[in-house]
Structure 1
Amino acid sequence: MTKQASESRAGERFSSTGFIIAAIGSAVGLGNMWKFPYITGKYGGAAFFLVFIICLLLVGLPVLLAEMAIGRGGRGDAATSFRNLSRNKVWSGFGFLSIVGSFMILSFYAVVAGWTLKYGLQSFTGSLYANPDYAAVFGAYAGSLQPIAWQALVLLLTGWVVARGVSGGIESFNKVLIPGLLILLIILMIRGLTLPGAGAGVSFFLEPDFSKLTPTSILVALGHAFFSLSLGMGTMLTYGAYVDRRQSLGSATLAIGAGDLLYALLAGLIIFPTSFAFGLEPAQGPGLIFAVLPAAFASMPLGAFFGGLFFLLLAIAAITSTVSLLEVSVAYSMRRWSFSRPKATALTATACFLVGIPAALSVGGPLGDLVIGGRTYFDWLDFIASNIILPLGGLAVTLFVGYAWKRVGDEVGLSALWFRIWLILVRYVAPVLVVFVFLFSTGIFRVLFGWGE
């Protein structure tokens, strides 16, 4: 690391509270807002929720603590932290792989975040509800050039936050938006729970159905426990580099996990009561958000207002995640090429925008018919980053902490008993389960055993 970059990063630190809030902001994304409620209802309600918590304890939280420890111990970007602790280019290569993964995710995630911004604006103005064929409305929008402009707006907002630094930008931004997100969730949850027929939605979401617990449902819970905490993409490792030595990483891990889970639960208590109250089909995944729920808001008193709040909520959740994703590449650029933070941010965001343009045009747009191996450009970015790079990054973290880094105990700061339990999980349990995540997410389990979506 050059002297300029080192001095720049040395002055960038989170406060204790700011770190936890920023990490929750990174973890809470669009997946929490629609995927977690959807898979919980589909795979057994409260029974699935129990399995998810077990998976979170066995793989999610141990890997989260490991990533933050590497970041704080190495005091560098995702690649440099590994190298500072091991002096081995192989481990640094795995760190670089996570940087590539976060960049790829941001390039298509910004497109989806742009959808939420546009829908929020249209809902507040009422124009969203002019045509009741909401699937056609979304198709027409996705098939135009408009998503590129909204993608650019998301990256401009994200870049503005990241360019302002860690404490003055990322921390301050999350300290405002994460509590605001919670307030919006509570308002919309109260609205959803007070709708006629909302009880059926709550039952669908939280009533246990152990008959739905199959190998597939367990693997889905395992995968979501890994992906929901932003693991394997370098974000928690990068944020860990900005954590004060006095911060308890164990306590922070529990707080981040609890916050991530709370936001997902509240989202479920919005989406399913609202869907059932208006007789909508809740098992549509992302299509539920843009093609189905607008019909519910159109039928609801003050629906344009509550719909606007809902899409604003989604936009906030998305942008708190895009901030952490961009920071991974910016931190690397600052170290690798001695760029100032504003320059690194501008160049990285621009590159991400250019890579993301084909993604914006491949969801029903001009590039929608360009399908290779059954996937569009958008789908391939998602598949490679989420299903291959992230599990490999998570596996590298567990192996590095479990076997290569001899002084990890000095960094995690756990009591002797909890350290032994954590080390057992990181060495013997988490690596196996992360391999299961990889085999499931890539479809290998589906081919071999028929376990899959």
Structure 2
Amino acid sequence: MEGHQAQGQAGHSDRTTQERFSAKGFIMAAIGSAVGLGNMWKFPYITGKYGGAAFFALFLICLLVIGLPILLAELTIGRGGRGNPSASMRRLSGQRKWGVLGGLAILCPFIILSYYSVVAGWTVHYSIKAFAGTLFSGVGYGQQFEELMSSWVPAFWQLAVMAICALVVGRGVAAGIEKFNKLLIPAMLVLLIMMMIRAITLPGAMSGVQYFLRPDFSMLTPTSVLAALGHAFFSLSLGMGTILTYGAYVDRRQSLSQAALAVTGGDVLYALLAGLIIFPTCFAFGIEVSQGPGLIFAALPVAFEAMPLGTLFGGLFFLLLSIAAITSAVSLLEVPVAFVMERWGWSRSKASAIVATACFMVGLPSALSVGGAVQGLSLAGKSFFDWMDFISSNIMLPVGGLIVALFAGYAWKQAADEAGLAGRAAWLWLALLRYVAPVLVMLIFLHSMGWI
């Protein structure tokens, strides 16, 4: 076992010698992975529902208690093992069973990407229609969305998104993923600020700002605590292997704890700015904010049509969503690509093309099941799209997060050393991973399943 382990470690080291993020490039890529579509519609909604700024403060506490420890654990395992989730856990523990458990973090992002690329395609479609002015054609936006879902157009845009991801990942870590995120993450921040300024200067917008930021501690309940826990976990893309895989490309000289704080801070900033876009806009135009994804594609276009320069700001809004979606999709693709490169020795370009094609084929039923050609393909009242989302988000992600916490907390004895922690900081981190995080992740799992 030890000889095989050393051989595998050496082989992988040769492959990744030229695959490294710069310090800034890693932060950008990790933020791109963490920030996604859910932050734009889900975070403002649950924040308003569960107490505004009071819930936001609770969310920050949950980030510190569960988000940061597991995020740091994923980074540490990735850099320590210098491989995909399965290979890293096997090498660091010397036990094959951990490699098998780590394999879940390879399958999970593949499944997520199969349907996430579909939603990303919707945002690209809407961005182009908004800039072209055809989105605001007088046809009801609910009807437009239904017409889109009933056609083959979602499959076309899903294919386009997968092609972009394959091209970026195929170029490598530094030349592809890093450069892509270094360009798009600052652009996304600029768009967020532009959209926020437009939103808070709308007539009646301050009511939305107050609703979002005014604390109402009377609304905090055990359910709101579970919601804050779940969002702290999911908003950082934990349990899906993306941060762990990116960690394999982090330089030894980079502080992992500082990197984890920077990524968490970027995620919080995005969520805050998203709230300052969604709430003021909804309040200014009398839109119900609790519509979930329908808010984005059916309700908000009404606001853009009514506001001055609505075609421009509508286009910028959907462009913002497209960037958030595609940067996350790139990180999802990198996980299975890294695995097949190690497992079968494929070149990066070959692995990217084949994995992206396979992911598109698996996701095609998702693209066509939301009102499309295979909408009748359902089981227990859920479409194919819904089942892919349910299995990955409600089951695989919490289980993946639990595996990471237990591995870094118990199985790998050098975890604190690799993380650069000593003394009380190491004791606190390991205590959170061993005793607190597993309990909280199980609560997240039970809540996401609707059992509590």
Does the TM-score normalized on the shorter chain lie above 0.5?
A: yes
Q: SS of the counterpart of 1:128?
A: coil
In the alignment, does 2:63 pair up with 1:60? no
In the alignment, does 2:20 pair up with 1:13? yes
| Runs of 4 or more consecutive aligned structure 1 residues displaced over 3 Å after TM superposition | 1-6
Instruction: Report if the CA contact (8 A) 1:4-1:338 is conserved.
Output: no
- Separation (CA, whole Å) in 1 of partners of 2:422 and 2:212: 37
Structure 1: give runs of 5+ residues left out of the alignment.
446-453
Q: Choose which of 293, 298, 314 in structure 2 pairs with 1:307.
A: 314
Instruction: Report if the CA contact (8 A) 1:219-1:440 is conserved.
Output: yes
Map Cα deviations across residues 344-372 of structure 1 (whole Å, 9 max, x no partner). Answer: 00000000000000000111212223221
In the alignment, does 2:267 pair up with 1:260? yes
Instruction: Report if the CA contact (8 A) 2:12-2:83 is conserved.
Output: no
In the alignment, does 2:316 pair up with 1:338? no
Instruction: Report if the CA contact (8 A) 1:107-1:352 is conserved.
Output: yes
2:4 match: none
In the alignment, does 2:357 pair up with 1:357? no
In the alignment, does 2:211 pair up with 1:201? no
Structure 2: give runs of 5+ residues left out of the alignment.
1-7
TM-score after normalising by structure 1 = 0.97
Query: What's the CA shift for 1:98?
Result: 1.1
2:256 match: 249
Quick one: which amino acid aligns to residue 310 of structure 1? F
- Separation (CA, whole Å) in 1 of partners of 2:62 and 2:381: 31
Q: Choose which of 18, 24, 28 in structure 1 pairs with 2:31.
A: 24
Query: What's the CA shift for 1:6?
Result: 4.5
In the alignment, does 2:401 pair up with 1:394? yes
1:224 match: 231
Instruction: Report if the CA contact (8 A) 1:5-1:334 is conserved.
Output: no
1:443 match: 450
Query: What's the CA shift for 1:2?
Result: 8.8
1:434 match: 441
Map Cα deviations across residues 163-210 of structure 1 (whole Å, 9 max, x no partner). Answer: 000000000110010000000000000000000000111122121122
- Separation (CA, whole Å) in 2 of partners of 1:256 and 1:43: 25
In the alignment, does 2:143 pair up with 1:129? no
RMSD (CA atoms)? 1.1
Map Cα deviations across residues 21-49 of structure 1 (whole Å, 9 max, x no partner). Answer: 11011000001111111111111111111
- Separation (CA, whole Å) in 2 of partners of 1:43 and 1:3: 51
Instruction: Report if the CA contact (8 A) 2:12-2:82 is conserved.
Output: no
In the alignment, does 2:324 pair up with 1:317? yes
Corresponding pairs, count: 445
Instruction: Report if the CA contact (8 A) 1:37-1:268 is conserved.
Output: yes
In the alignment, does 2:98 pair up with 1:71? no
Quick one: which amino acid aligns to residue 242 of structure 1? Y
Quick one: which amino acid aligns to residue 265 of structure 1? L
Q: SS of the counterpart of 1:361?
A: helix
Segment drifting more, 226-235 vs 365-374: 365-374
TM-score after normalising by structure 2 = 0.97
Query: What's the CA shift for 1:78?
Result: 1.1
- Separation (CA, whole Å) in 1 of partners of 2:28 and 2:35: 10
Query: What's the CA shift for 1:131?
Result: 2.8
Quick one: which amino acid aligns to residue 312 of structure 2? F
Identity percentage of aligned residues: 63
Q: Choose which of 83, 89, 93 in structure 2 pairs with 1:86.
A: 93
1:148 match: 155
Q: Choose which of 86, 104, 123 in structure 2 pairs with 1:116.
A: 123
Segment drifting more, 33-42 vs 305-314: 33-42
Q: Choose which of 175, 196, 199 in structure 2 pairs with 1:189.
A: 196
Quick one: which amino acid aligns to residue 250 of structure 1? S
Instruction: Report if the CA contact (8 A) 1:56-1:225 is conserved.
Output: yes
- Separation (CA, whole Å) in 2 of partners of 1:317 and 1:387: 22
Q: SS of the counterpart of 1:160?
A: helix
- Separation (CA, whole Å) in 2 of partners of 1:129 and 1:4: 55
Instruction: Report if the CA contact (8 A) 2:65-2:432 is conserved.
Output: yes
Q: SS of the counterpart of 2:158?
A: helix
Instruction: Report if the CA contact (8 A) 1:6-1:335 is conserved.
Output: no
Instruction: Report if the CA contact (8 A) 2:369-2:385 is conserved.
Output: yes
- Separation (CA, whole Å) in 2 of partners of 1:51 and 1:268: 16
Quick one: which amino acid aligns to residue 44 of structure 2? P
Q: SS of the counterpart of 1:110?
A: helix
2:287 match: 280
Query: What's the CA shift for 1:266?
Result: 0.3
- Separation (CA, whole Å) in 2 of partners of 1:263 and 1:234: 21
2:164 match: 157
- Separation (CA, whole Å) in 1 of partners of 2:167 and 2:269: 28
Query: What's the CA shift for 1:211?
Result: 2.4
- Separation (CA, whole Å) in 1 of partners of 2:200 and 2:383: 38
Segment drifting more, 206-215 vs 18-27: 206-215
2:5 match: none
Query: What's the CA shift for 1:7?
Result: 2.4
Quick one: which amino acid aligns to residue 18 of structure 1? G
Instruction: Report if the CA contact (8 A) 2:13-2:82 is conserved.
Output: no
- Separation (CA, whole Å) in 2 of partners of 1:33 and 1:337: 38
- Separation (CA, whole Å) in 2 of partners of 1:143 and 1:267: 30
In the alignment, does 2:167 pair up with 1:176? no
Instruction: Report if the CA contact (8 A) 2:43-2:271 is conserved.
Output: yes
